[in-house]
Chain A
Amino acid sequence: MTPAAATQPAVGELALSGSWTARGMGKTIEARLGTLPFSARTNTVADGTRIDALDTAGAWVLHKLLTRLQDEGTIVTLRGLQPGMAKLLDTVTKGITEQAAPPSPPPPTTALEHVGRRAAAAYSQGAAMLTFVGESALALAGSIARPARFRWRPILYNIRTAGFDALPIVGLLSFLLGVVVAYQGAAQLRQYGASIFVADLVGLSMLREFAPLITAIVIAGRSGSAYAAQIGTMVVTEEIDAMRTIGIAPLELLVLPKVIALMIALPLLTVFADVFGVLGGMLMAHAQLGVGYGEFLDRFVKAVSLSDYFIGIAKAPVFAAIIAMVGCFQGFRTHGGADSVGRQTTRSVVQSIFLVIVADALFSVAFSALDL
C-alpha cells in the first residue's frame, strides 16, 4: 500500500496518488494539503488517475480540500478518477451537504465553577442519602407493624453470606492484629519490667477498638461492595423497575433484609474477632515476653471489665447499618451502564469505610464524656 500523496508538478496542476484510505493517509497528509500554495482565481486541474484506493475517510479529506480551494476562489476540476471512486466521492459530497453543522462544544469550565458543581453534587448526594435512610426507616417501621411482611429467607441468606462466610478472613486478620499489638507493646513494656501489662494493652485495644473496626472494614470491602454491585446491576437491567411494577417494594426486598442481616452478623463477627485478637496477643506475649497463658488470662480478667467488652460489641450494629445503607444507596444511584456500576461500587466502599471511622471517632468522644 503506497501512502497517499499530493504534489504540484506545475502551476495549476495537482497530482494525487497512493491510497487515500483511513490507513493510507496517516498523520501528515492533512498538514501537507494545508501547505500547498494555490493562487486565487486560477484554474487548477487535479489529477486523480494515480489514486490506488479511496474510502470514505479519503473521500472526506479530498472533499474538504476541493471545497477549501473553491472557497478561496480557485476553480478546480478533478479528472481521471476511476468511476467507482467518483461515485463514492459523490455519495460523500451529498452526505456532507445534508449534514447540519455540529453543535459548538460547551465553554470550558473555570476552577470556581468546578468547585461549585462539586459542592452542589455533594450536597444533593447527602440530601438523597438522608431521604434514602428515611424511606428505609419507614419501610422498617411498616415491616415491624406487620411482621408477616418480614422476609426471613433473604435475611438468613444474607447472614450466611455476609457473616458466616466471612469468619475465616475476619478471624485471620484479627489474630494478626493481636500479634502486631502485642509485638509493638512488648518492646516498651519489657523496658519497665511491666511485661504482664501486655494483657491490658491487648485486651483493651482489641475489645474496645480494633476488633469492631477491623471487622467493619473487612465487611465494608466484602459485603458493602457486593450490595452496591448487585443493586447497581439490577438497576441497569431494569430489574428494579420490574420489581416496582409487580408491586414489590425494592426497599423491602433488597435493603431491609441486608440491613437487618448485617446488624445481626456484624456483632457476632466482632465477638469472633475479639477471641482471635486476644488469642494472637496471648501467643505473642508468651513468645516475646515469656508471659504464661494462665498468667495472661488472670491479668486479662482483672484488666478488662464487662463494659469494655460491651462497648466494642455495641458499636458493631451501628457500623453494620452504615455499611449496608451506604452499599444499597450507592447501588440505587447507578444510572447508565457497566462503568457506572463500577463507580458506584467504589464509592460505596470508600464512603462506608470513611463513615465507619467517623462514627468510631464520635463513639470515642461520647464514651469519654460518659466516663465509660
Chain B
Amino acid sequence: MQSVTQAGEPVIQIRNVSTRLGGHVVHAGLDLEVRRAEIFGLIGGSGSGKSTLLREMILLHRPDAGSIRVLGVDLQNPGDEDAQALRQRVGVMFQHGGLFGALTVTENVGLPLREHTGLSSRLIDEIAAWKLAMTGLKPEVGAQYPAELSGGMLKRASLARALALDPELLFLDEPTAGLDPASAGGVDELVRSLRDSFGLTIVMITHDLDLLWQVADRVAVLAEGKVQGVGPMSELARMDHAAIRPFFDGPRGRAAQEQSVQPIGARRRGKPGAPSSKPR
C-alpha cells in the first residue's frame, strides 16, 4: 500500500485513556504513540491491560475516558462508515488464529477480498494462494480446514488473512506463542520483511524477548494502568523501574540480550546467518 504520509508521523495516538472492567481499573490515564512504519512492541505482566488496549485499538472495546486515534480516525465515536473503512485498513492476527472453522484456509484468506472488493473469484483464489506462500505455507495447505493445521501453520494462515487487504497497520497478538524455535525465528524474519517491503506499521503484543530484541524498533512497558517506559530495548534495559526490570533481569532476559548482538536468522537455529537485511 502506498501512503502519501511521511515516515515517523504518528499512526496511533492514545491520549489519557482510562478503562475499567467490572470495577477493576485496567488503564488509568494511559498515553501512547506509534509512528508510521515502525515495529512496536507492547509488553507487560499478565493483567496489565495489553489485550484490552489492543481490543480498544481495533474497535472491539471502547475506553471509558480519553481518546484513541488510529490512522487519523477518532475511535471514541466513529460513524459506521468511518469504522468500516478503518477496519479495511487494519489487519489483526489473533492469538489463537481466529480462522473460521467452516471455511478452508484459502477461503479464510480470500474472505476479506470477497467481502470488500469486486475481484473475480479466480483472481481472489490466486491472490489468497500467493499470500499463503508469502507467509511461508505450502500450497496444499490452502485446501485444508483450520482444524487440520498445526499451531504454527494456524498463525501463518491467520497472518495471511490479516494481510489480505494490504493493511497499513497490522496488529499481532502473541505472534510467536506456542511455536517451535525455528518457526518463531521465521516469524521474526516475516515481520521484519513485511515492514521493509510494504512499509507496514506493526504493533505486537508479545512476551517473546528474542522477538523484541531482534525486530522491535520501540517497545512500551505497561504496568499499573500506565505506560512505564517507551523506547528501544537497549534503552529500556538501562531504565531502573520495578515494572521494567523483570524483562531484562534473570537468565532469560540476559540470554535474549546477548543473542541480540548476533544477526537475525543466526539465533534460535544456532547456525551462522546472513547479515541483517536492513540495518537501522
Residues of A with C-beta under 8 A to B146:
337
A53-B1, A340-B101 given; A88·B198 CB < 8 A? yes
- Determine whether B177 belongs to the interface, using a CB cutoff of 8 Å to chain A: no
Partner of B119, one of A26, A56, A98: A26
B75-104 residues with Cβ-Cβ distance < 8 A to A are 88, 101-102
**Are A85 and B119 neighbours in the complex by a CB distance under 8 Å?**
no
1/0 per residue A83-126: CB within 8 Å of B? Answer: 01101100110011011111101000000000000000000000
- Determine whether A339 belongs to the interface, using a CB cutoff of 8 Å to chain B: yes
Alpha-carbon distance A134/B257, docked complex (angstroms): 59
A16 CB to nearest B CB, Å? 15
Residues of B with C-beta under 8 A to A102:
129, 139-140, 142
- Determine whether A290 belongs to the interface, using a CB cutoff of 8 Å to chain B: no
State the interface size on chain B (CB cutoff 8 A). Answer: 34
Query: Which of the four size classes fits the interface of chain A?
Result: 35 or more
Which residue of chain A has the shortest Cβ distance to B145 in the bound complex?
A: A336
Alpha-carbon distance A255/B101, docked complex (angstroms): 27
Alpha-carbon distance A266/B166, docked complex (angstroms): 58
**Are B129 and A82 neighbours in the complex by a CB distance under 8 Å?**
no
Alpha-carbon distance A241/B1, docked complex (angstroms): 45
- Determine whether B6 belongs to the interface, using a CB cutoff of 8 Å to chain A: no
**Are B147 and A337 neighbours in the complex by a CB distance under 8 Å?**
yes
- Determine whether B117 belongs to the interface, using a CB cutoff of 8 Å to chain A: yes
Residues of A with C-beta under 8 A to B148:
336
Alpha-carbon distance A98/B139, docked complex (angstroms): 11
**Are A60 and B130 neighbours in the complex by a CB distance under 8 Å?**
yes
Which residue of chain A has the shortest Cβ distance to B1 in the bound complex?
A: A55
**Are B139 and A27 neighbours in the complex by a CB distance under 8 Å?**
no
B37 CB to nearest A CB, Å? 12
**Are A95 and B143 neighbours in the complex by a CB distance under 8 Å?**
no
Residues of B with C-beta under 8 A to A23:
88, 116-117
- Determine whether B219 belongs to the interface, using a CB cutoff of 8 Å to chain A: no
10 A-B pairs with CB atoms under 8 Å apart are A55-B1, A56-B163, A84-B2, A84-B199, A88-B198, A95-B130, A102-B129, A335-B147, A336-B147, A337-B145
Given A25-B119, A61-B123, A340-B147; 16 other pairs, CB 8 A cutoff: A22-B165, A22-B166, A23-B117, A26-B117, A26-B118, A30-B120, A53-B1, A55-B1, A55-B166, A56-B127, A56-B163, A95-B134, A100-B138, A102-B140, A105-B143, A336-B145
